[in-house]
């Protein structure tokens, strides 16, 4: 799957334990986000697909995360999104709707408020992810 978040391109790979929270657990361990896992319970539906997308941040305020974990539930058109910015602010994954914008092409957006920036400032960042299944 190819994707971009706010213009930063990445190749996304199926996460370990695809379609289950095991993929999220593996992603959390890999990127030091294990504390958030305790807030999650249950299993994802059979139509869910999990991806781990790695990015190289190039923004001055480092607003693009190093990695984003996605769990897509195509039956409900809901994505579970988790990254280090979401963990810092909300302490748990976000569930956001996504839309199909073409055959195998999807778009989702989420907002992270109270994100700290340089100089004791904070702000909000709206992320938009476009992805295409291979």
- Give pLDDT, residue 119: 80
Confidence (pLDDT) at 109: 93
pLDDT for position 39:
29
CB-based burial, 60-84: b 16+ in 10 Å, e otherwise: eeebbbebbbbbbbeeeebbbbbbb
How high is the pLDDT of residue 89? 93
pTM of the model: 0.70
In the predicted model, residues of the chain with pLDDT beneath 50 are 17-20, 33-46
Q: What is the pLDDT of residue 97?
A: 96
The pLDDT score that the predictor gives to residue 121 is 86
């Amino acid at each position: 799957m190819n994707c971009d978040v706010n213009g930063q391109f990445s190749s996304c790979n199926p996460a370990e334990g695809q379609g289950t929270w095991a993929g999220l657990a593996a992603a959390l361990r890999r990127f030091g986000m294990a504390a958030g896992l305790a807030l999650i319970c249950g299993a994802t539906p059979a139509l869910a697909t999990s991806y781990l997308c790695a990015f190289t941040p190039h923004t001055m305020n480092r607003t693009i995360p190093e990695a984003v974990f996605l769990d897509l539930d195509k039956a409900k058109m809901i994505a579970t999104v988790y990254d280090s910015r979401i963990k810092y602010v909300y302490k748990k994954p976000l569930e956001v709707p996504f839309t199909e914008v073409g055959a195998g092409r999807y778009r989702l957006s989420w907002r992270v408020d109270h994100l700290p920036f340089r100089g004791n400032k904070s702000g909000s960042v709206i992320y938009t992810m476009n992805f295409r299944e291979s």
